[in-house]
């Protein structure tokens, strides 16, 4: 029964919280599209979630949209060279369904040469005692920026300590 609860938690979180970051620490200059996939691991197995994103910016401020089950609209603002503040709102895939949450996130994107780190906090507007979903979720992502692609590993943790691990990759155009 616990395994079923963890799978339900994983599916709920994948639908309302962006699992993959897959964004550079620097806001884009012009336009960019990305397409990829995340492997999300829960207790006893994993599932695949497609990823698509669009970003437009002036090199200082970026507006971005990503789709990974839920639709996320966000803004990224450069703070220092290689450091940006990133925030967004995610709408779930099944609007109008009882108990389906909205989520807001904010985090930093820190460039470390070819690597990037993104600590992030999510607020989920729906709390379920049955699934152990809390109002706040914490995420840490470590990624690699290659020429035309991004790869990353991440962990999403709720206040009860349940963890959801992910491996994501995307190609950029």
**pLDDT grade, residue 7 (50/70/90)?**
very low
CATH topology of domain 1-172: Lipocalin (2.40.128)
Q: Per-residue DSSP letters for the chain?
A: -HHHHHHHHHHHHHHHS-------SSPPEEEEEEEEEEEEEETTEEEEEEEEEEEEEESSEEEEEEEESEEEEEEEEEEETTEEEEEEEEE-SSTT-TT---EEEEEEEEEETTEEEEEEEEEES--BTTTTB-SEEEEEEEEEEETTEEEEEEEEEETT--EEEEEEEEEE-
Q: Which residue has the higher pLDDT, 44 or 89?
A: 89
Report the range of poorest mean pLDDT among 15-19, 85-89, 137-141, 166-170: 15-19
Q: How far apart are CA 79 and CA 82, in angstroms?
A: 8
| Arithmetic mean of pLDDT, 7-33 | 77
Give residue-wise pLDDT tens across range 130-169.
444 557 889 999 999 999 999 999 998 888 888 889 999 9
Computed over every residue of the chain, the mean pLDDT equals: 84
Structure tokens at 51: 């990823």
**pLDDT grade, residue 4 (50/70/90)?**
very low
Strand, coil or helix: 8: helix
Structure tokens at 42: 């829960």
């Amino acid at each position: 029964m616990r395994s079923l609860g963890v799978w339900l938690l994983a599916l709920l979180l994948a639908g309302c919280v962006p699992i993959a970051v897959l964004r550079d620490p620097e806001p884009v200059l012009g336009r960019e599209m990305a397409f990829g996939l995340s492997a999300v691991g829960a207790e006893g197995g994993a599932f695949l979630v497609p990823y698509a994103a669009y970003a437009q910016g002036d090199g200082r401020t970026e507006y971005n949209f990503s789709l990974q089950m839920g639709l996320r609209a966000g803004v990224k603002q450069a703070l220092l060279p290689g450091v940006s503040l990133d925030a967004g709102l995610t709408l779930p895939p099944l609007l109008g369904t009882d108990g389906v949450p909205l989520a807001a996130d904010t985090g930093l994107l820190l460039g470390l040469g070819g690597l990037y780190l993104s600590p992030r906090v999510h607020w989920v507007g729906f709390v379920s005692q049955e699934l152990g979903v809390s109002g706040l979720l914490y995420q840490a992502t470590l990624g690699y920026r290659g020429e035309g692609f991004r790869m990353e590993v991440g962990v999403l943790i709720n206040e009860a300590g349940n963890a959801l691990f992910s491996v994501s990759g995307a190609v950029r155009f």
